[in-house]
Amino acid sequence: MAIVLAFPSARTLLQSQWLNGILLTLLVCLGGITLRALFRKRWLSALFHLGTMAIIIGGGITAGYTKEGQIIFTDASYAPPEYRQCVIDGERIALHSFEMPTYPDGMPQQYITHLMFPEGMHTVSVNAPLRRKGWTYYQMSYQQVEGYYGEPVFNTILTVRKDPGANITFCGYALLILAAFAQAIRTTMRHQRLRAQEVMP
């Protein structure tokens, strides 16, 4: 049966007033430090604190506005429509087919789900998620059940997730890495200059 389950537990975390107060105070302090660093032309310090702010803001958006759920489709042509399709953000998503290639010994090699969207078919498999319109579809597992006529029928299990804060968080990490590399290069060059001065007669 096609099921979409939301997990709002992370959102309840942000309903804590004291936690919101701590995060807001931290952002204000970081903003002030960043402005002071920019005013004094301390670019690496500003870059580091901007990255930290982006991570906090992105994490807050993720905790408060992420949508996540699980979809279970039944791969049987006679299954009722509610077992083979669902609606996400007003769009109808239907199961086209499910494949499970096996190794020569019969062990599963891969789980592959073909989904039908308004614009056409897309494929989701293990380690190859589908990213579409802000949503990411992950192939999680499968179930083998007995069909209506006693034949084996497969249920494909997908996890869907929409995280509007992920890109902001990734930008924050990128800024931190850039600041760390720049600081390492700056320190290395400074040590080289000091060594050069020491060997001068």
Is 3 inside any structural domain?
no
| Domains: count for the chain | 2
128 & 172 share domain: no
Mean pLDDT (the chain) is 86
Is 25 inside any structural domain?
yes
Q: Which amino acid is at 128?
A: A
Quick one: tokens of 61? 């958006």
At a CB cut-off of 8 Å and minimum separation 6, what does 83 contact? 1, 2, 73, 74, 76
Which band of pLDDT confidence, cut at 50, 70 and 90, is reported for residue 4? low
Which band of pLDDT confidence, cut at 50, 70 and 90, is reported for residue 17? confident
Contact in structure between 168 and 50 (CB atoms under 8 Å) = no
DSSP states of 83-126 as a string?
Answer: GTEEEETTEEEEEEEEE--B-TTS-B---EEEEEETTEEEEEET
**Residues 59-84: pLDDT tens digits?**
888 887 888 889 999 998 888 888 89
23 & 102 share domain: no
148 & 182 share domain: no
18 & 74 share domain: no
How far apart CA 179 and CA 42 sit, in angstroms, is 11
What is the domain range of residue 128? 69-162
143 & 129 share domain: yes
79 & 140 share domain: yes
Give the residue carrying structure tokens 């807001």: 24
Q: Which amino acid is at 59?
A: G
Q: What are the start-end ranges of the H helices in the chain?
A: 9-13, 17-39, 43-65, 166-199
106 & 53 share domain: no
* Residue 192 vs residues 43, 184, 201: alpha-carbon distances, Å: 21, 12, 16
79 & 120 share domain: yes
pTM: 0.76
